[in-house]
Amino acid sequence: MTPKSTIPAFGVLALLMTGTAAFAADTLTVGFAQVGSESGWRAAETKVAKQKAQQDNVTLKISDAQQKQENEIKAVRSFVAQGVDGIFIAPVVATGWDSVLREAKDANIPVFLLDRQIETSDPSLYTAAVTSDTVLEGHMIGDYLAKITNNKCRIVELQGTVGSSPAINRKKGFGEAIAAHPDMQIVRSQSGDFTRSGGKQVMESFIKAENNGHDICAVFAHNDDMGIGAIQAIKEAGLKPGTDIKVVSIDGVPDMFKAMADGEANGTVELSPNMAGPAFKALIALKTDHTQPQKWIKTPSTLYTPATAQAEYDRRKPLY
Ligand code: GYE
């Protein structure tokens, strides 16, 4: 028996003695291999993770991978070497995880995927994934764009990080939604890497290629930050975002609510930045009484439009 395996027993004993559920987590240390800080949504997720860790008495070690998978893999290896009680990974890209996950599994350390999914031939290599339904998000915003354009629109698409599950899935969901409408087409599509500057740069090139933007009906950005970057590019080209070129995206960050309130964007699908909270809860339950979590702990996604944007902005601002 390793010293680690005595932790749940201690937890249960103290639970009986103190009668409080908070104690069991006192001893937990979690390593979080985070993507980076490419977007406002990502920064909020990190912030909420720290808050939830404090509430749940978890010691949280966060490593910033600067959007590189190799850095995340290194971080996971170091968490395994440190013998942490759980590992959270927000996987930059979907493939290439099996061998490092096997190392964590061999060391008996449960792994939770946060906000992005992976492709693996052996799902037993991770314990659970806490993510939104990113295919659904693409579908929802595609249906909405169809509605506000009378099913007729030449669309440019700003994709997220190449090979990341939200980029793959949001493209898929959006494509499914517009497939029903022959007059809706994606005429240009390129990655802006989920960043504001990437979104702006790629949008500038789309505008140049599309009759100074006059032939573009809408931009679909896989996240709000790229959408905000696109808004800047549209303005600099002398056009009106939200009117001349419609802007729809996904995340629900305050800046996008502000843009909608100002009439410069048309819709976003919000996903909760609280991915760590449900993961801590599941890890604590697993450690205290061996409760196996659901494989996919799904968080909700909600469509927002300009009609309620000002109120939603005021409500969210303090949280970010
Ligand atoms: O939408 C984007 C971030 O993985 C769901 O990553 C997350 C996405 C989010 O960079 O802003």
Q: Span 294-315, mean pLDDT?
A: 97
Q: What is the pLDDT of residue 11?
A: 38
Contact (CB, 8 A) for 84 and 31 = yes
Average pLDDT over residues 14-42: 73
Q: Is 115 left (phi over 0), alpha (psi -120 to 50) or beta?
A: left
Residue 64 gets the label, from left (phi > 0), alpha (psi -120 to 50) or beta, of beta
Distance 251 CA to ligand 1 centre (A): 7
Q: By alpha-carbon position, which residue is closest to atom 8 of ligand 1?
A: 166
pLDDT at 139 over 80: yes
Residues 61-78: tens digit of each pLDDT: 999 999 999 999 999 999
Q: How far apart are CA 136 and CA 153, in angstroms?
A: 21
Tell me what pLDDT residue 18 has. Answer: 41
Instruction: Give the least confident one: 19-23, 113-117, 287-291.
Output: 19-23
Q: What is the pLDDT of residue 248?
A: 99
Alpha carbon of 314 to ligand 1 centroid (Å): 22
β-pair type (218-221, 184-191): unpaired
Q: At residue 305, does pLDDT exceed 90?
A: yes
* Residues near ligand 1 (Cβ within 6 A): 38-39, 41-42, 115-116, 166, 194, 223, 250-251
Tell me, in angstroms, the distance from the centre of ligand 1 to residue 115's CA: 7
| Among candidate residues 79, 73, 175, 80, the one with its CA nearest the CA of residue 134 | 175
Atom nearest to 224 CA in ligand 1:
11
211 pLDDT higher than 80: yes
Output the pTM of the full model: 0.92
Choose which residue among 64, 69, 194, 301 to substitute to test ligand 1 binding: the one with the highest number of ligand atoms within 8 A of its C-beta: 194
User: For domain 134-271+304-319, which architecture applies?
Assistant: 3-Layer(aba) Sandwich (3.40)
User: Ligand 1 test: best mutation among 42, 45, 93, 162, most atoms within 8 Å of CB?
Assistant: 42
Q: Please give the distance, rounded to the nearest whole angstrom, from the Cα atom of residue 1 to the centre of ligand 1.
A: 40
Instruction: Tell me how far CA of residue 227 lies from CA of 68, 245, 249, 288, in angstroms.
Output: 23, 12, 6, 43
CA–CA separation, 54 vs 32, rounded Å?
14
The hierarchical CATH code for the domain 27-131+273-300 is 3.40.50.2300
pLDDT at 300 over 80: yes
Gyration radius from the chain CA atoms = 21
Residue for token pair 């090979």: 163
The residue-averaged pLDDT of 258-284 equals 98
**48 vs 277: CA distance, rounded Å:** 8
Please tell me if the domain spanning 27-131+273-300 has the same topology as the one spanning 134-271+304-319: yes
Sequence spans of domains, the chain: 27-131+273-300, 134-271+304-319
Taking the CA of residue 165 as reference, the ligand 1 atom at the shortest distance is 4
